[in-house]
Amino acid sequence: MPGGQSGFQAKYAVARDALEKGQYDRAKRQYLTLIQEAGPLAQRLELEYAHAELRSGNYAQAANVAGSLARAQSGQARAAALAVQGTAQHELGLQLLAKGETAAGKQQLSAAQAALSDVLKTDTDLDPIGSMAGRLASIQVRLKSL
């Protein structure tokens, strides 16, 4: 890693701190820079970048990045990416429905349902308080009404 381990860790601390403080544009810039020099940590940082996109309301980008990660990984890393993907697709679906774009909204909700169902089937540890299960139930109710 160029800049040495401590330089990389300092840059990561800036990115993570920005994410936690709601400074999403700063976090995204930092993560994109870090990903280029992260080596084997790149996929983990891409997931955090996707999370920053999700939190900033860029649901399509978050779903795209997380979906690519999910397709390239297995195990808990795949499940974590699917959780971000499914959450982003749920939010995107709700936005589309609010705009009257029923077919596109339903498509996103169906994709979110598949992603979150997969997470809950394969890695229940990622939903310790049941919020993901609650989101999935909400999606299922909404899909039945469409």
- What would the pLDDT profile of 125-146 be if each residue is shown by its tens digit? 999 999 999 999 999 999 999 9
Domain ranges of the chain: 1-56, 76-146
2 conformational bin, left if phi > 0, alpha if psi -120 to 50, beta if neither: beta
Tokens of 118: 């997969």
Q: Which helix (H) or strand (E) holds 13?
A: helix 4-20
Query: Is 51 a residue whose pLDDT tops 60?
Result: yes
Determine how many CB atoms are found less than 10 A away from the CB of residue 83: 24
Mean pLDDT score across all residues of the chain: 94
Report the distance separating Cα 85 and Cα 142, nearest Å: 18
Question: What is the pTM assigned to this prediction?
Answer: 0.91
- What would the pLDDT profile of 13-46 be if each residue is shown by its tens digit? 999 999 999 999 999 999 999 999 999 999 999 9
